[in-house]
Amino acid sequence: MVVSVVGAGIGGLALALELHAAGIPCRVFESVRSVAPLGVGINLLPHAVSVLAALGLEDRLAEVGISTKESIFFNRFGQFIHSEPAGRLAGYEFPQFSIHRGDLQSILLDAVR
């Protein structure tokens, strides 16, 4: 049995890696001819990084992403509201990364290939 994964976005590629890690063969289908690094910056919270780290991707994420040390919030006038530590500085086992969505997809695609 081969599992069909429809879509080579972040979810589809992460699923393909999880299936591979579990020893389940799969094929990824994508409607575009070539996957392009599109999107904006996103935050990978520690619980998401723990899953990607288990797939062997933490070092690659650290090379490409920025380890987020703190979240700071301001109102629409630029006045400070609140700050809090992030990732390991907040006591989590795994870091938090700020990364371009396209870079994350490229890391996942490389790992799947």
- pLDDT average, residue stretch 60-86: 97
Tell me, what's the pLDDT at 41?
93
Domain that holds residue 74: 3-112
For residue 15, the domain's CATH number is 3.30.9.30
Between CA 100 and CA 71 the distance in angstroms is 17
What is the pTM for the complete model shown?
A: 0.89
Q: What is the mean pLDDT of residues 66-74?
A: 97
Number of structural domains, the chain?
1
User: Interhelix angle for 101-112 vs 10-21, to 10°?
Assistant: 30
Could you read off the pLDDT of 14-66 as tens digits, one per residue? 999 999 999 999 999 999 888 877 889 999 999 999 999 999 999 999 999 99
